[in-house]
């Protein structure tokens, strides 16, 4: 999320709106948005109905404790990013995902995370948006 | 529900945003949309 946030202008240039979906309660969304300096919508899906609608499932402990995920947490900790304990209501086994939707409403990229660190890079996402990739924005 | 694939229609939905206002994802829009589903609150 941090890398994509830093590249927001590049997504804006490609006429792409970013939207964060969390399973935080609605009452906590504004604080979360401010804490992470986000200037795009943050949505609350505490019942995870939309997670299920998009096929996002809970993983296994083996996935969550994947060395790549542990490594990502280690790097974040080295950069001074605090690692929080799971909060009440958190589900550490829930996996995330990223979906790029074109203006007609078709999925152009669907990425289902296999472990906590498994996310497409901003470059991968921007590449899927570029005019040379299919019939992206012009 | 199984995994969505490129070319599938994106499921429409409505959720509350940070201002407790409804945000509706509609199929037709003037812009691309990047949905980032977090795995927990990070």
Tell if the CB–CB gap between B25 and A19 is shorter than 8 Å: yes
Strands (E), A28-77: 42-44
pLDDT tens for A30-41 read 999 998 889 899
Asked if residue B10 lies in contact with residue A105, where contact means CB atoms within 8 angstroms, the answer is yes
Query: What is the average per-residue pLDDT within A5-21?
Result: 91
Q: Give the closest of A50, A104, A107 to B6, CB-based.
A: A107
Tell if the CB–CB gap between A109 and B6 is shorter than 8 Å: yes
Q: What is the pTM of this model?
A: 0.81
Query: Does the beta carbon of B34 lie under 8 angstroms from any beta carbon of chain A?
Result: yes
Q: Give the closest of A24, A98, A104 to B41, CB-based.
A: A24
A 10 A CB-CB count for A106 gives 14
Asked if residue B12 lies in contact with residue A104, where contact means CB atoms within 8 angstroms, the answer is no
Tell if the CB–CB gap between A103 and B26 is shorter than 8 Å: no
Check residue A114 and give its pLDDT: 85
Query: Does the beta carbon of B14 lie under 8 angstroms from any beta carbon of chain A?
Result: no
Tell if the CB–CB gap between B6 and A110 is shorter than 8 Å: yes
Asked if residue A42 lies in contact with residue A34, where contact means CB atoms within 8 angstroms, the answer is no
Asked if residue A126 lies in contact with residue A132, where contact means CB atoms within 8 angstroms, the answer is no
Identify the DSSP state of A40: S
Check residue B34 and give its pLDDT: 96
Asked if residue A137 lies in contact with residue A14, where contact means CB atoms within 8 angstroms, the answer is yes
pLDDT tens for B1-42 read 689 999 999 999 999 999 999 999 989 888 999 999 998 655
């Amino acid at each position: 999320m941090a890398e994509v946030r830093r590249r927001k202008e590049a997504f804006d240039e490609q006429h792409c709106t970013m939207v964060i979906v969390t399973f935080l309660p609605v009452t906590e969304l504004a604080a979360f948005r401010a804490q992470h300096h986000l200037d795009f919508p943050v949505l609350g899906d505490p019942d995870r109905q939309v997670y299920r609608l998009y096929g996002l499932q809970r993983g296994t402990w083996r996935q969550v404790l994947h060395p790549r995920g542990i490594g990502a947490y280690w790097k974040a900790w080295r950069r001074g990013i605090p690692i929080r304990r799971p909060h009440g209501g958190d589900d550490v086994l829930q996996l995330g995902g990223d979906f790029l939707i074109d203006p007609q409403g078709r999925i152009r990229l669907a990425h289902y995370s296999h472990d906590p660190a498994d996310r497409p890079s901003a470059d991968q996402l921007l590449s899927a948006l570029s005019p040379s990739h299919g019939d992206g924005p012009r | 529900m199984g995994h969505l694939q490129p070319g599938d229609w994106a499921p429409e939905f409505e959720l509350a945003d940070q201002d407790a206002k409804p945000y509706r994802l509609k199929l037709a829009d003037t812009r691309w949309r990047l949905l980032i589903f977090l795995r927990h609150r990070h």
